[in-house]
Amino acid sequence: MRPLLNRAASNLVKQLSHNLLPSSCSFCQSPLQLSAGALCHNCVAELPRLTTQCQRCAVPLVSDTLCANCQQKPPTYRRCIVAFHYQTPVDNIILRFKNDPYTTEIKQLSAALAERISTTYRLAQRPCPKTIIPLPLHWLKMTKRGFNQSLIISNLLADYLRREHQTAIEIRSDICRRIIKGQDQHLLSAKKRLTSIKKAFTAEVQSLDGLSVAVVDDVVTTGATANSVAKVLLKAGVAQVDIWSIARTSWNNTTV
């Protein structure tokens, strides 16, 4: 009995240490250095980074300019900052992460986003917002999922920006609440999604005058969610709302 128990315990320790300190890249299986994350340097370099995009909504474009939508009707948020295209393997990592908060690759995706955030504000010669709001989940969804993926990304971003760029960030989950669950977004057309999201959020704190905030999300699709939450925050007195997101879909991708 005891050898069996010992073997089971030893397997468990091996599994745990592999999850916590992976020894090989989770994509190409090449050996990893202890300090690296789940992905090796080469695999991180090959991730589908968003290079040229709309300067407001971050939809992928062939050059850094304003998309037709933002020219006709600018969004309520000031700017959306995104690190990656919502393409393989980033899409798979994010989908896995929505079911498993211990998805190790998300740390490296968040680090890439933090670098993009830091560079964007430096080039624009604007201060980085010091308050970030994880996009809230409706309480029913929160109960079902057990965690808010945007809060995990917010913590990773705040840690990275504090450590690598000496930027102190405060995470505020108390400012905004999602009051309408709506149907699963991926089952709706773009038009219906827009209607369902318009009244989905409310601001819980009213003394927000002059605050500059960033709302953190995992994926931006049509930008309707970002627009809706920004509208509520601006109405509550926030001076500026930026959106920070790991990935962004293209025009023709409304399946998220």
Q: Which residue, 56 or 248, is less far from Zn ion as judged by CB?
A: 56
Q: Which residue, 50 or 70, is less far from Zn ion as judged by CB?
A: 70
**Residues between 154 and 183 that touch Zn ion (CB under 5 A):** none
Instruction: Give the separation between CA 120 and CA 128, rounded to whole angstroms.
Output: 9
Q: Which range of residues in 59-67, 84-92, 107-115, 143-151 is near Zn ion by CB under 5 A?
A: 59-67
If one counts every other C-beta atom within 10 angstroms of the C-beta of residue 169, the result is 20
For Zn ion, which residue of 8, 13, 16, 28 counts as binding (CB under 5 A)?
A: 28
Six-digit token string for 55: 């300067």
For residue 93, state whether it binds Zn ion (rule: CB under 5 A). Answer: no
b/e per residue 48-64 (b: at least 16 CB within 10 A)? bebeebbbbbbbbbeee
21 near 34, Cβ under 8 Å? yes
Print the binding letters for residues 39-58 with Zn ion: x by CB under 5 A, - otherwise: -x--x----------x-xx-
For Zn ion, which residue of 22, 27, 194, 231 counts as binding (CB under 5 A)?
A: 27
For Zn ion, which residue of 50, 61, 67, 175 counts as binding (CB under 5 A)?
A: 67
> For binding to Zn ion (CB under 5 A), which residues are involved?
25, 27-28, 40, 43, 54, 56-57, 67, 70
